[in-house]
Structure 1
Amino acid sequence: MQGVASAASTGTDNPAGFSSSPRIAQSPRTAGRRIDAPLSLQTPDDGLEPRMVDLTVQPADIWTRIRRGYAVPNIDTPLVKEWENFYASRPDYIQRTAERAGKYLYYIVEEIDQRGMPTELALLPFVESSYDPWALSRSQASGLWQFIPATGRGFNLKQDWWRDERRDPIASTRAALDYLQYLFDFHGDWHLALASYNWGEGSVKRAIDKNTARSLPTDYLSLDMPDETRNYIPKLQAIKNIISNPAAYNIALPSIDNQPYFVTITKSRNIDVKLAAQLAEMPLEEFKALNPSFNRGVILGSHEPTLLLPADRISIFEANLRAYSGSLSSWHTHELAHGETLTTVARKYGTSVATLRKANGLGTRSRIGSGDILMVPTSRQAEPTLVASAGITPVRATVQSNGRAKKTVQVRTYKVRKGDTLSSIARQYDVSVDHLRALNRIKGSAIPVGRTLKIQ
């Protein structure tokens, strides 16, 4: 779009500076059901006789919940058929995109329902970003909802050296739904609102005014618009049709439960991204997929950010955090005072100017000034270990050294979760796949869920 663009535990004693809740962050808007939503409807059952569905009972599956909330009028044009064929011929793409969406869909649908908006909007990131929070277009649109920088700032999405909230699943979803609601209120028509999301409301209004002056219809299909916008709603309609009846297109959607995938934790102390993932005992890639807004290897507590963790990781994270004896961050943050330079900061922390430049992405001609925040690496030589953690269990093992003195080593273990691979576990703990295979006597690549692996 123009402005956006396609392409659980409680407690007051918290010395680690975290607070958490098993509930998803909610929209500040008042929850409400669509006033025209029926309490029951007739729905086809694989092409057989229609059956009644009680809408007062929540479905177990998120796809069913999405189908029940459709409210955008359908369009049936040759372009829709073209995009149906395009997507149907790429079932692997639909499968991968739907799997990525599984992390975010419950939250997005919940937000949509609370605002009384059509649930088709939850499918819009299929078109915008393929549900990839890291997606970046040629026009620098970013995130699930593809906000360009200016529109992101207009919806209070912070963008600086440390973070880019256009990639934040919660903040960007709220901003996108705010924008879509504004566009619907502006046009009174969901097709025109969606076209405006892609092209800009000013462009759509000018196209409407042009047709009005010529006594021509002003609906979406009658407007003169760029090819991208002309294809935009047919793409969404095609995705909607496939989600409505995937079997008709020989596509199998992954099962996604109609329940929260993630919970939120608010933090007030710096923490390394890598350490946060380790404390949650989850692959670093998955942690980053839930927390893609952070630009650096350390998350600043002064920003009071919200971390997202899978619902089944929260108790593990908190237990490991309580047992953790080391520093939460391998970085200092230093706010430049008036007159300070890289040289004076380097001298203060016992490091080099070259190290500071590299850590902060500064070139030789980069300018810094009072109030800027620098990342300064600590002089820590060894990474602290976890003690009595919930899942990464230090086991004391004693071995003989040349038959004389005894040497004590730490053996770290990891319990395999659904979705884990040898590669993801190896990356999480900075070891090689060959190391894991040798240590655990694994010949192939398959690892069963629930197996306990030795890490080191």
Structure 2
Amino acid sequence: MIRIDARTALLGGGLLLLAACATPPTRAPQVPPPAVPTPETPASTPSPSPPPTTSTSAEERSTWGRLRSLFAMQGCDYSPGVQRWAKAYTQSPRAFVASWKEALPFLGLVVDELEQRGLPGEFAMLPYVESTYRPIPTRGDVPAGMWQLVPDTAREAGLLVRKDYDGRLDALASTHAALDLIADYYREFADWRLADMAFNSGEFRVKKLLGGRDARDLEAGELAQFKFNRITHEHLDRLLALACIVEDPARFHVTLPEPGPDTRLRVTDLPIGMDLRLAARLSGVPLDDLKRWNAGYRRNRMPDGVPHRLLLPETRVERFLVASQAMPQPLWNDWREERAARTSGIGSWASQLGVPVGALAAANAIDEDATVLPATRLLLPGHEAEPVDEPATAAGTRVHVIASGDTLSGVAHRYGIPLRRLQQLNPQAGRTLHLGDKLRLDAG
């Protein structure tokens, strides 16, 4: 039987704007776990007591309100760089809001995990800094996914990285791994700022620059003098800038988007794998959306030896459950596409293939008495040939996949390549870089 995981992306409620950021202490405090309210036991009385009223506002129940309640770092006034980045992010309020609207399904999952772990809400901004919450696929030894984890780090964190499944692109698995890293870095350095910097530049770099000092004694100005590269310092500024905007969006003329029913994702565990095209038909979810929410599966078929689960909008889960239970399990994971090439009823195809007409009709989202035209592309039971992989990059050639905030000069500095040489290797790269674009770092 299929079961629904208890973890859900609970998003909702209205948004009330909070007051401007208050000036915090000069060092980042340790975050206590979120307080769990305990209902009071009503006193025993001869007559029935009225039902207790709740003091929890709609703002506090909303995703943004829950996130603000987890903020624990120094936010708006940490450094001048924070203010510069906050203004840069909101230079086009419409584009900024649109990017968060696209990120909402994944944001809900991350906020749930932060609450359960008692981690600072600022780290919900980290996937936005890295990728604007996009599960970016890559090839080779380069970062991937919304957390932009490199293969070695991902594997050390327990993620599978294979051709047919990449845990870095799995929103749930990668979030668990990334937050495990953040928690480990905090246990080592006792400072959330350095946990972020270690995530960006590596823990050994942080250790070396600390030289045995206690990070909790570092003022913001002292930390700014550490010889990280510029990108690592800006990484922290950008994280705090986004938190600053979320803390008081009106200050930046922004109205943060509220999630709707179709952006609250629930985790559905499956007993066996299921073809993603079939899952899309059974749930009534557009295939492109389903693949984006479940990007860990690199092909249509869910391979063996990996987690079998789907992230689906909570409004579509019941439909999926009913439809999948009516679909014989031997048909779940082996489908192929074929042009019909003739006019006939879907029942004729079902009879020819020896499958229930209802199952074949459901897999193609048509009625059982529908007529199939020659140009129709049908989803039919049967193992699909494995796709041929794209030619590999020439041996020894390195590439960098563009993430949010990258610039040509920044990439050149990171890899120690003269800017002019990087431009020669990538003549197609203009002044504007796009997420997911690949820059060659070697001649190959």
| TM-score class normalised by the smaller sequence | 0.5 to 0.7
Equivalent pair of 1:146/1:166 in contact (CA under 8 Å): yes
Q: Is 2:128 the partner of 1:155?
A: no
The 2-side partners of 1:103 and 1:270 are apart by 23
The 2-side partners of 1:216 and 1:69 are apart by 23
1:117 is matched with which residue? 119
The 1-side partners of 2:212 and 2:143 are apart by 29
Counting aligned pairs with the same residue, the percent is 26
TM-score of the two chains, using structure 1 as the length reference: 0.61
Q: Is 2:370 the partner of 1:328?
A: no
1:174 is matched with which residue? 176
The 2-side partners of 1:231 and 1:137 are apart by 26
The 1-side partners of 2:377 and 2:124 are apart by 32
1:184-204 per-residue CA deviation (whole Å, 9 max, x = no partner) reads 111111111111111111111
1:393-414 per-residue CA deviation (whole Å, 9 max, x = no partner) reads 61647xxxxxxxxxxx369xxx
The 2-side partners of 1:428 and 1:155 are apart by 40
1:319 is matched with which residue? 322
1:58-111 per-residue CA deviation (whole Å, 9 max, x = no partner) reads 833201111121111234322122212211113243223211221122221111
Task: Specify the SS of the correspondent of 1:59.
Answer: helix
Task: Specify the SS of the correspondent of 1:24.
Answer: strand
Give the stretch that moved more between structures: 302-311 or 115-124: 302-311
The 1-side partners of 2:242 and 2:101 are apart by 15
Do the aligned partners of residues 161 and 139 (structure 1) sit closer, same or farther apart at CA in structure 2, a change above 3 Å counting? closer
Do the aligned partners of residues 204 and 383 (structure 1) sit closer, same or farther apart at CA in structure 2, a change above 3 Å counting? farther
1:295 is matched with which residue? 298
Letter in 1 for 2:63: I
1:273 is matched with which residue? 276
Q: Is 2:26 the partner of 1:23?
A: no
1:225 is matched with which residue? 228
Give the stretch that moved more between structures: 221-230 or 296-305: 296-305
Question: Of the candidates 375, 384, 394, which is equivalent to residue 367 of structure 2?
Answer: 394
Do the aligned partners of residues 302 and 233 (structure 1) sit closer, same or farther apart at CA in structure 2, a change above 3 Å counting? closer
Do the aligned partners of residues 54 and 241 (structure 1) sit closer, same or farther apart at CA in structure 2, a change above 3 Å counting? farther
Question: Of the candidates 119, 132, 135, which is equivalent to residue 133 of structure 1?
Answer: 135
Task: Specify the SS of the correspondent of 2:266.
Answer: strand
1:24-50 per-residue CA deviation (whole Å, 9 max, x = no partner) reads 279xxxxxx9258698xxxxxxxxxxx
Alignment of 1:336-347 (within 5 A): none
Question: Of the candidates 31, 34, 37, which is equivalent to residue 32 of structure 2?
Answer: 34
Letter in 1 for 2:238: K
1:422-454 per-residue CA deviation (whole Å, 9 max, x = no partner) reads xxxx9999xxxxxxxxxxxxxxxxxxxxxxxxx
The 1-side partners of 2:106 and 2:218 are apart by 41
Do the aligned partners of residues 199 and 54 (structure 1) sit closer, same or farther apart at CA in structure 2, a change above 3 Å counting? farther
If asked which structure has higher relative contact order (CA below 8 Å, sep 6+), I would say 2
1:63 is matched with which residue? 64
Letter in 2 for 1:168: D
The 1-side partners of 2:192 and 2:262 are apart by 27
RMSD across aligned C-alpha pairs, in angstroms?
A: 3.9
Equivalent pair of 1:268/1:301 in contact (CA under 8 Å): no
Equivalent pair of 1:323/1:388 in contact (CA under 8 Å): no
The 2-side partners of 1:286 and 1:104 are apart by 12
The 2-side partners of 1:206 and 1:258 are apart by 47
1:105 is matched with which residue? 107
1:199-228 per-residue CA deviation (whole Å, 9 max, x = no partner) reads 11111111122989xx99795223121010
The 2-side partners of 1:322 and 1:304 are apart by 19
The 2-side partners of 1:259 and 1:395 are apart by 28
CA apart distance, 1:302: 4.8
CA apart distance, 1:382: 11
CA apart distance, 1:113: 1.1
Do the aligned partners of residues 119 and 211 (structure 1) sit closer, same or farther apart at CA in structure 2, a change above 3 Å counting? closer
Letter in 1 for 2:4: S
The 1-side partners of 2:356 and 2:235 are apart by 49
Equivalent pair of 1:269/1:300 in contact (CA under 8 Å): no
Structure 1, unmatched stretches of 5+, are 1-13, 27-32, 40-52, 333-378, 398-408, 412-425, 430-456
CA apart distance, 1:255: 0.5
Q: Is 2:80 the partner of 1:73?
A: no
Do the aligned partners of residues 427 and 292 (structure 1) sit closer, same or farther apart at CA in structure 2, a change above 3 Å counting? farther
CA apart distance, 1:317: 1.0
Do the aligned partners of residues 258 and 57 (structure 1) sit closer, same or farther apart at CA in structure 2, a change above 3 Å counting? farther
1:337-377 per-residue CA deviation (whole Å, 9 max, x = no partner) reads xxxxxxxxxxxxxxxxxxxxxxxxxxxxxxxxxxxxxxxxx
Question: Of the candidates 93, 100, 116, which is equivalent to residue 91 of structure 1?
Answer: 93
Do the aligned partners of residues 138 and 272 (structure 1) sit closer, same or farther apart at CA in structure 2, a change above 3 Å counting? closer
The 1-side partners of 2:316 and 2:73 are apart by 37
TM-score of the two chains, using structure 2 as the length reference: 0.63
Give the stretch that moved more between structures: 95-104 or 122-131: 95-104
Equivalent pair of 1:330/1:380 in contact (CA under 8 Å): no
Structure 2, unmatched stretches of 5+, are 10-30, 38-53, 337-351, 380-444
CA apart distance, 1:306: 1.9
Letter in 1 for 2:68: R
Do the aligned partners of residues 258 and 93 (structure 1) sit closer, same or farther apart at CA in structure 2, a change above 3 Å counting? same
CA apart distance, 1:248: 1.8
The 2-side partners of 1:394 and 1:259 are apart by 25
Letter in 1 for 2:332: L
Do the aligned partners of residues 136 and 100 (structure 1) sit closer, same or farther apart at CA in structure 2, a change above 3 Å counting? farther
1:282 is matched with which residue? 285
Equivalent pair of 1:38/1:55 in contact (CA under 8 Å): no
CA apart distance, 1:266: 2.4
Do the aligned partners of residues 381 and 207 (structure 1) sit closer, same or farther apart at CA in structure 2, a change above 3 Å counting? farther
